[in-house]
């Protein structure tokens, strides 16, 4: 780990926090394992979104279509719902159907 430069020492003595760039340079960026896991999570999210493009589906239906475990599908659907990308539909056999929110023009 590199030592802070004079500018960073001055910032810290004034109670200022180092910038993101300075921290990345000092610490060497995020761990490779974290970067790889982030990429995998994004790929799973894309698979879920692609499955929902075919129409509203339940979590088990999306899991079968994508090959992902239901708990991961549910996590992605809830994340998409939180950010307004997915809407709940009708209930079928105890499961809600989820669909992609139509884009407003």
Domain region containing 80: 20-100
Query: Is 13 a member of any domain?
Result: no
Domain-embedded: residue 2: no
What b/e sequence results for 34-70 when a residue is b if at least 16 CB atoms lie within 10 Å of its CB, and e otherwise? eeeeeeeeeebbebbbebbeeebbbbebbbebbebee
Is residue 78 one of the residues assigned to a domain? yes
Number of C-beta neighbours around residue 80 at 10 A: 19
pTM value surpassing 0.85: no
Task: Print pLDDT tens along the chain (105 aa).
Answer: 456 566 555 555 666 777 888 888 888 888 888 889 889 999 999 999 999 999 999 999 999 999 999 999 999 999 999 999 999 999 989 999 999 998 776
For residues 91 and 19, give the distance between their C-alpha atoms in angstroms, rounded to a whole number.
48
CATH number where 82 lies = 1.10.10.10
Q: Is residue 3 part of a domain?
A: no
Contact 65, 51 (CB under 8 A): yes
């Amino acid at each position: 780990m590199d030592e802070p430069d004079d500018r960073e020492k001055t910032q810290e003595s004034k109670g200022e926090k180092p910038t993101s760039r300075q921290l990345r340079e000092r610490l060497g960026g995020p761990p490779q394992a974290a970067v790889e896991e982030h990429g995998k999570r994004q790929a799973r999210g894309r698979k879920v979104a692609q499955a929902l493009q075919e129409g509203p589906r339940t979590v088990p239906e999306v899991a079968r279509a994508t090959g992902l475990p239901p708990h991961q599908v549910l996590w992605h659907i809830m994340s998409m719902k939180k950010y307004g990308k997915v809407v709940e539909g009708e209930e079928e056999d105890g499961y809600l159907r989820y669909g992609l929110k139509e884009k407003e023009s």
